[in-house]
Amino acid sequence: MSYEKHRHRLLHEYPAISDLAAKAQKRIPDVAWQYLVAGTGEEKLLQRNRDALNAIAMPPEFCKGDLEPQLTTSLFGQSYNAPFGIAPVGLTGLMWPRAEIILAKAAAKYGIPFSLSTVATETPETLASHIGDMGWFQLYPPRERHLREALMDRAWEAGFRVLLITADVPTPSRRERTKRAGLQMPPKMTTSFLWQGITHPVWTWHTLRRGLPKLRTVLSYSEFQDMMSVGKFVRSRLGGNLSWEMCEEIKAYWKGPVVLKGVLHPADAEKAAAIGLDGVVVSNHGGRQFDGAPAAIEALPAVARIAMGKMAVIMDSGIRTGLDILRALSLGADFTLLGRAFLFGVAALGEYGGEHTIEILSDDLKNNMIQLGVEDFSNLPQPRL
């Protein structure tokens, strides 16, 4: 049955991303929930991301007659139907089986980008028939050049056209919360995990149908295919050694736009522009890597000033509403990404989750644009900081 038949009811039952989060928490095993919501260290940055967004106020202007907000925007020469997309999320199938497929289909249907993580649980090839021209691929660059190129070749051939290089994982995060919850990378079948499976039968039924989550894209590069060996491969051979030289090599190899994800320091934005990258994502990985980082929205204005006229600026980390998206655009972002919001959607509503998350955000965006008195993003007011 199509989402449209449920849209009206769902917008009443789940009008906000926080409603999806509350439902998701009940529907998925605790270990998956803790993985999804985790920050790192004392998790101060999670709150800082939210507080900094909430602190941005924009003065509305009234008496403008009928307003028809336009959400369409263009980025890298491509038109998107809204100024937000789906951020790359690893181990996705742990939160909800086939999450990538559900989200890729929703993105293609609504005309917004979907980013596939290197460590997602579905492959570029599986998504090829669902994603249309909305696919972005996120690269944790393998140390060996032949592996890097093999991954990029697969993504390109499957139809992914924008490449995100993730810069902000120089080393795996400690993410204490996931350790306390008993999550091992890759996930292990412990008694507690089995018990959580028994007490979350819908999740378990879908998981058994799809098969236990595996890092399917990188599986074939690991000498052995068992979860331990693949986990070891990821830790030892993916990422951690990214340099500007490697970014230049990747830029020369990839035929589409290349974007550096995880930029917070103006100096990094300057270097990215100097080597000819097409854009940066101002992001602190949703507060999951370095608890001492600034909120992404705090770092945005300085990066946007450097990028102006040279590179696109995308922002993520902490966005939960259409209003947050407007806040980011008003401070110089060309586009935004959301990670957890979409996983809350899919974990809460399964097949309808991607579409419903897009509907909530689009509805909220339009409503807040009318409140502000604007019809497009070029006329957003200067925020009061």
Applying CB under 6 A, which residues contact ligand FMN?
35-36, 87-90, 117, 119, 138, 166, 261, 283, 285-286, 288, 316-319, 338-341
- 253 in Cβ contact with 149 (< 8 Å): yes
- Residue type for 7, please? R
Answer yes or no: are the C-beta atoms of 332 and 311 closer than 8 Å: no
Residues in the chain: 385
Residue 118 CB, shortest distance to ligand FMN, in Å, is 6
Cβ closer to ligand FMN: 234 or 349?
A: 234
Q: What is the DSSP letter of 111?
A: T
CB 130 to ligand FMN: min, Å: 19
Report the 10 Å Cβ neighbour count for 301: 16
In the complex with ligand FMN, the residue whose CB is nearer, 355 or 374, is 355
Nearer to ligand FMN, 58 or 338 (CB): 338
- What's the closest the beta carbon of residue 346 comes to ligand FMN, in angstroms? 12
Distance of closest approach, residue 363 Cβ to ligand FMN, in angstroms? 18
The least distance separating ligand FMN from the CB of residue 249, rounded to whole angstroms, comes to 19
Is residue 157 packed enough to be buried (19+ CB in 10 Å), middle (13-18) or exposed (0-12)? exposed
Beta carbons of 104 and 358 less than 8 angstroms apart: no
**Which of residues 48 and 251 has its CB atom nearest to ligand FMN in the complex?**
48
In the complex, what is the shortest distance from the CB of residue 238 to ligand FMN, in angstroms, rounded to a whole number? 10
Nearer to ligand FMN, 335 or 374 (CB): 335
Nearer to ligand FMN, 40 or 317 (CB): 317
CA distances from 246 to 167, 239, 251, 252 (A): 11, 11, 9, 10
Neighbours of 198 (CB within 10 A): 9
- Between CA 251 and CA 259 the distance in angstroms is 9
Round to whole Å and give the CA distance between 319 and 324.
Answer: 6
The residue whose two tokens read 């106020």 is 57
User: Cβ–Cβ contacts within 10 Å for residue 67, how many?
Assistant: 14
Q: Which residues are catalytic?
A: 285
Torsion angle of the four alpha carbons 140, 271, 262, 55, in this order, in degrees rounded to the nearest 10: -170
CB 134 within 8 A of CB 58: no
**Shortest CB 378 distance to ligand FMN, Å:** 25
Is the alpha carbon torsion for 174, 319, 142, 269 positive or negative?
negative
**By CB neighbour count within 10 A (0-12 exposed, 13-18 middle, 19+ buried), where does 55 fall?**
middle
Give the residue with the Cβ less far from ligand FMN, 240 or 381: 240
How far apart CA 258 and CA 256 sit, in angstroms, is: 6
Residue nearest to ligand FMN (CB): 339
